[in-house]
Amino acid sequence: MSFDLMSTVEYGGCSAKLSPEALDKLLEKLHFKTDKNLLVGTDTHDDAAVYKLNDEQAIIFTTDFFPPLCSDAFTFGQIAATNALSDVYAMGGKVLMALNLIMFPSNKIDIKILGEILKGGEEKVHEAGGLIVGGHTIDDYPPKYGLAVVGLVHPDKIITNAKANVGDVLILTKAIGTATILAGKRLDLIDDEIYHNALESMKQLNRFAGDIMTKYSVRCATDVTGFGLLGHLLKMAKGSNVCIEIDAEKVPLMGGALSLIEMGCIPGASFRNQKFVESDSVSINKCSYEKRMLLYDAQTSGGMVMCVEKDKVSDIIKELKPIYNETEVIGKVCDFRESWLEVY
């Protein structure tokens, strides 16, 4: 049984997220109740929530789902699950269990296709060391899939996006450009190898990166998803009250992504992310337009950006490279001056 899931959508994956600018304006007007045991909530727009159970344990709670971003159902399930699980690793945690979130048009697509999506998702949850323990389904078009995930972390070892320290070095573990590559595939502008490499990157768990961060006591990180590299770094800079400098030439790019941008193949989500970032105090004047648009690329299941003490950088890079071979140092954390971000 085969079915081209891409025939159901104009765009999928994390490119389908709401505009970060519109979301920020909405959240500013909402005030959620808090609790002394809520260690990470909505204030800094972090990757997941963290709630303290006792002096030794805190639960991580997160969710993510989206429409198809590839044709194959099993692969879609793998990528959607990998993307949802990533938030637990970004907080320094261990995956415990997950619930399937399913929106599927049973009267338009054979139910066996849903079975393949679920198999792909379960494979990745199993690889993460967790369990699928149920879920929820509604009849909806186009199909959408993801997870609600529960993880575990020690309350004193939480990694957040709001603890960047001046002098920290930024390490990125995966190349960027997934949304651009997927757009190029839909327009038949790239070959199968470039597309395959992008899918493989999106299927790669951030589990090992999370383990390395815990081993070296990294306390500030975020995974790179729908708001693009610069969108997530802006939230990190503001949450930590620092300036983050990025060397655009050192940011690893997926093969073929820059050529697509140069041809004018720029996904709509990149412009939404650009509007969000450039409406704030940022300086990106020294970066070429083509590179800039890739820094706004709405990543799906992207890599981890971690803030690392300078004396630990070499050892961490040495451990990450065999698993995430495009790992690079991309910038540093500085005192806030006039900009949250400086890109050169």
Instruction: Find the CATH number of the domain harbouring 108.
Output: 3.30.1330.10
Q: Specify the pLDDT at position 43.
A: 77
Distance CA 64, CA 296 (A): 20
Residues 83, 174, single domain; the answer is no
Q: Specify the pLDDT at position 281.
A: 84
| Domain finish residue from 105, 126, 157 | 157
Q: 23-32, 134-143, 221-230: which has the minimum mean pLDDT?
A: 23-32
Rounded mean pLDDT, 303-318 = 98
Q: Which residues pair with 104 in a beta bridge?
A: none
Could you give the number of structural domains in the chain? 2
| Residue at 163 is within a domain | no
Q: Which residues are catalytic?
A: 14
Range of the domain at 56: 5-157
Angle between helices 268-278 and 20-28 (to 10 degrees): 50
In the structure, what pLDDT confidence band is assigned to residue 1 with cuts at 50, 70 and 90?
low
Question: Do the beta carbons of residue 232 and residue 302 sit within 8 Å?
Answer: no
Residues 81, 106, single domain; the answer is yes
| Residue at 162 is within a domain | no
Residues 108, 221, single domain; the answer is no
pLDDT in tens, 57-112: 999 999 999 999 999 999 999 999 999 999 999 999 999 999 999 999 999 999 99
Residues 184, 247, single domain; the answer is yes
Q: 8-12, 97-101, 249-253: which has the minimum mean pLDDT?
A: 8-12
| Residue at 212 is within a domain | yes
Residues 209, 118, single domain; the answer is no
Residues 53, 178, single domain; the answer is no
Residues 195, 264, single domain; the answer is yes
Strand locations in 234-323, DSSP E? 243-246, 282-283, 304-308
| Domain finish residue from 157, 182, 206 | 157
